[in-house]
């Protein structure tokens, strides 16, 4: 069995994730994987599970958080950005 890098659970169905910096991590659940490797929003500090928005060297979970941090010209809705 393999031990989860986040919670330490020794689990027979653990899986391995290789990150962009060539790190290798073992997890027993997606929850533990997200907690360990997902980036945090530069405004609200939540874990970013989707694409997020990158601007000014930071990553944000949504356009609202990016705007709250001073980023202009971003929207979560294409129609709203045309207004």
Give the pLDDT score at 12: 96
Binning pLDDT at 50, 70 and 90, where does residue 17 land? very high
11 neighbors 2 (Cβ within 8 angstroms): yes
Residue 16 has pLDDT above 90, yes or no: yes
1 neighbors 14 (Cβ within 8 angstroms): yes
Q: Which residue shows structure tokens 């601007």?
A: 55
Give the pLDDT score at 20: 84
Binning pLDDT at 50, 70 and 90, where does residue 56 land? confident
Give the pLDDT score at 76: 86
């Amino acid at each position: 069995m393999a031990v989860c890098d986040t919670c330490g659970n020794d689990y027979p169905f653990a899986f391995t994730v290789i990150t962009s910096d060539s790190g290798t991590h073992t997890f027993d659940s997606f929850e533990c994987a997200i907690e360990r490797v997902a980036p945090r929003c530069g405004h609200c500090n939540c874990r970013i599970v989707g694409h997020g928005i990158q601007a000014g060297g930071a990553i944000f979970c949504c356009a609202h958080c990016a705007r709250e941090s001073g980023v202009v010209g971003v929207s979560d809705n294409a129609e709203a950005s045309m207004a």
